[in-house]
Every structure is written in structure tokens, then in C-alpha cells.
Amino acid sequence: MKNKAILMLAAALTFNNACRNTVSEIEIHPIQDNVKPRLMPRALFAEAPDSLISELGLEEGIPASVCAFLVKTENKEILFDAANGAADSQLLPTLSSLQVKPEDIDHIFITHLHGDHIGGLTSGQKAAFPNAQLHINIVELDAWMSMPEEQTISLRKTIELYKDRLHTFIPDETLPCGIKAVEAYGHTPGHTAYQVGENLIAGDIMHGTALQVDYPQYCARFDMDKEKAVQTRKALMETAEREGLKVYGMHFPQPYWL
């Protein structure tokens, strides 16, 4: 597993972030939202011992990214998450380079409701994707909507913009285009992965693959329920290995999958 992580990081030096993976009739296009190279600070993994961080050569930080994924299947254009929506966001420019307009997006599946995954859903005061159906795990949505309103103002505004096109679901449901929702709780209350053919889009299952691939017991401080996040990380990776699934992560460095 260590060699696997090393090879993945080495590939990042030469891999084009507009890469395209075609499996059967499914095309998966990673969309890296961050312009500059991204390192997760070592301090995010406070429980990982310094000796291990040093052994792995990660003292200056852990290679990462902020990603969304465009999936083309069944003549549909599907987004998984919408990145952070910052001024320098690469989401819309990358979609344009793929000859996809915002109005072409048919469905958006959200892994969880952190800002770096839903910020790109809006453009100014409008919905950035005017024709997209928005899909969110009901456990995740209810958890955030139960928080104090003053803490979730931006989220509530976003949901309001999509309210007529909002669809909730429970895990293990088969969603439009044959996509399967997979329970991946821990990072957030309703954090959800999605199986698309032989691919698993796993959201924030890991924030630092160079550490967590081989040492899944260490969490980033972003994980709200660390014990459950560890269980989920181990279970999803075991399932992926057993079933031969390619795992994509929103914070994996290039080439964005394991």
C-alpha cells in the first residue's frame, strides 16, 4: 500500500488535471478547483505521530486538492459536488473546456454540505446550474438544517435556490442514471459516497492519501465523528479492493483516484 501511495504521488507530477477515464459507457472527468498546488497542513492530523510524518516525508504538508467530478453517462451530464465557488474557481472554466455549459448539467449529487463542496452551486445570487436536479442524502440535509440558522445562512440560501429541483434520498437507493448512494458517515452526519459502474466517488473519505491509505486510523480534524470516519474509511477501501472499484476522492491529489 505504501508503494501505491508513492506511485500515485509521483504520477501527480505529470498528470493533466483534465484527465479522462472511460469505463464502458461512463466517462469521468476530474475537475480540480484549486489553481495552485495544495497541501493539507500537517497540523490537521494531530494524532499522527511526528515520527511517522517524518518517515513519510510529509513534514511540510500532505498533497491534496479540491475537486468535483463530471460524469457523462446515458446521455446525461452529471456533477458530483460543485467545489468551493471561490473567485478563482476552475469549475466553470473546466466544464467549458469539456464543452459543457452550466445549463447542460442534468443532475448534481452532493457528498456532503461543507462549503468546499457546495460553494460552486451558486453564482452571485442565482443558481449556477439552472436545469440541474440536486440530490442530497436526507440524513445530511436534516443534520445541517437542525443547526442554528445563523450558522447556516449561506447553506439555506443555496437550498432555497434549488428548492424546486431538490431531491432527498436514503443510502442504498438506486438514483437516476443507475447511480447507487453508499453510506459513508463520519466525516459529516450524512456523508455519502456514490457508486457509478465500477467507480466509487467517495467524497472526503480521506484528506491526505499519502498518510491515510496506509494508516486509515488517523483522521483530519474536519471529521466530525472520528471513530465512525475511521470505520467508514476502512470499510469502503475493503469493499473497493474486494469488488475491484476505482476510488475517486474530492481531496485526492492527481490523478484523483486509488
Question: Is residue 39 included in any domain, yes or no?
Answer: yes
Collapsing DSSP states into helix, strand and coil, what is residue 156?
Answer: helix
Whether 254 is covered by a domain: the verdict is no
- The CA-based dihedral angle spanning residues 179, 227, 32, 93, taken in that order and rounded to the nearest 10 degrees: 60
Q: Is 256 helix (H, G, I), strand (E, B) or coil?
A: coil
Q: Is the model more confident about 25 or about 225?
A: 225
**pLDDT at residue 39, as a whole number:** 97
Q: Count up the domains in the chain and report the number.
A: 1
| Residue 227: strand, helix, or coil | helix
User: Residue 12: pLDDT above 80?
Assistant: no
Across 9-33, average pLDDT: 56
Q: Is the pLDDT of residue 1 over 80?
A: no
Q: What are the grid coordinates assigned to 225, written together? A: 465523528
Confidence of residue 174 (pLDDT cuts 50, 70, 90): confident
Residue 64 counted as domain residue: yes
Domain annotation covers residue 207: yes
Query: Which residues in 23-43 are b (16+ Cβ under 10 Å) and which e?
Result: eeebebbbbbbbeeebebebe
Indicate the SS3 state at residue 201.
strand
Q: Tell me if 256 is assigned to some domain.
A: no
Q: Would the pLDDT of 21 be above 60?
A: no
pLDDT class for 96, splitting at 50, 70, 90?
A: very high
pLDDT tens string 128-157: 999 999 999 999 999 999 999 999 999 999
Look at residue 257 and tell me if it is in a domain: no
| 209 neighbors 165 (Cβ within 8 angstroms) | no
Considering the domain boundaries, does residue 258 fall inside one?
Answer: no
- Of 208, 188, 203, nearest in space to 236 by CA: 203
Q: All 3 cell numbers of residue 79?
A: 456533477
pLDDT given at position 17: 34
Q: What is the pTM of this model?
A: 0.90
How confident is the prediction for the chain on average, in pLDDT?
91
Give Rg (Cα) of the chain: 17
Q: What is the CATH number of the domain that holds 166?
A: 3.60.15.10
Q: Which of 109, 99, 169 is nearest to 133 (CA)?
A: 109
State the pLDDT confidence band at 118, using cuts at 50, 70 and 90. very high
Burial class (CB in 10 A: 0-12, 13-18, 19+), 124: exposed
> Does the residue 51 lie in any domain?
yes
pLDDT tens-digit readout, 61-71 = 999 999 999 99
Print the domain residue range for 150: 2-248
